[in-house]
Amino acid sequence: MRTLLRTCGELSVTAGVAMLLFCAYLLWGTGSYTEWYQHVLKQQLQQTAKVAKLGKIHLGDAVAMIRIPRLGRDYEYAVLEGVGQEDLRRGPGHYPGTARPGKVGNFVLSGHRTTYAAPFNRIDELRRGDAIVIDAPEARYTYRVSGKQVVTPDQVDVIAPVPGRPGARPTEAVITLTTCHPEYSARERLVVYGVLSAKRDRRT
């Protein structure tokens, strides 16, 4: 009996250590992959900026840079086209078919809240009026946060051209950020909305 108990105890300790290591990998190890890929995407954006316009976008292409001053001076991520599992491991993703940066309609982005550098981990801290800056090859667009909402995963109307109003015709440029809620769970979605407030063209 003592041998059995000791064996079970050792197995439990081993399993616990393995679980801790796995959790550490998810929280920090996956970030290394994202950081490497972000470097690649940022280089791609630098090349695109030379022609001062965003051409045809393919899945996986870099679209723009996102900066959120409220989340720190160093907060910046390259946004890529696509919101598939592999896309979001590389950084925040732009929903294909939604508006382009600065255009009338809904520019929708999704990002991880934990793991893979967790680019949207702190978007719950955003307040009404906070800036969300999108640097696209042709211009810098500044959106201002207009609201936040927690929804269920099946409430896809948040990504409609007019958020929450499927079928409505858009008349303004808006941005929507989506991520999992609460942390470490995919039970709900945290959504942050913003409205375009300024545009600054690139010098050509």
Residues identified as active-site: 112, 180, 189
Residue owning tokens 């840079």: 65
Q: Which H or E run includes 139? A: strand 139-151
- Total residues belonging to the chain: 204
Which amino acid is located at 59 in the chain?
A: L
Q: Quick one: residue 164, left, alpha or beta (phi over 0 = left, psi -120 to 50 = alpha)?
A: left
Name the residue with tokens 């409220």: 70
Dihedral sign, CA of 176, 105, 86, 46? Answer: negative
Q: Which two tokens stand for residue 24?
A: 């550490």
Q: With b meaning 16 or more CB within 10 Å and e meaning fewer, what string describes 52-62?
A: eebeeeeebbb
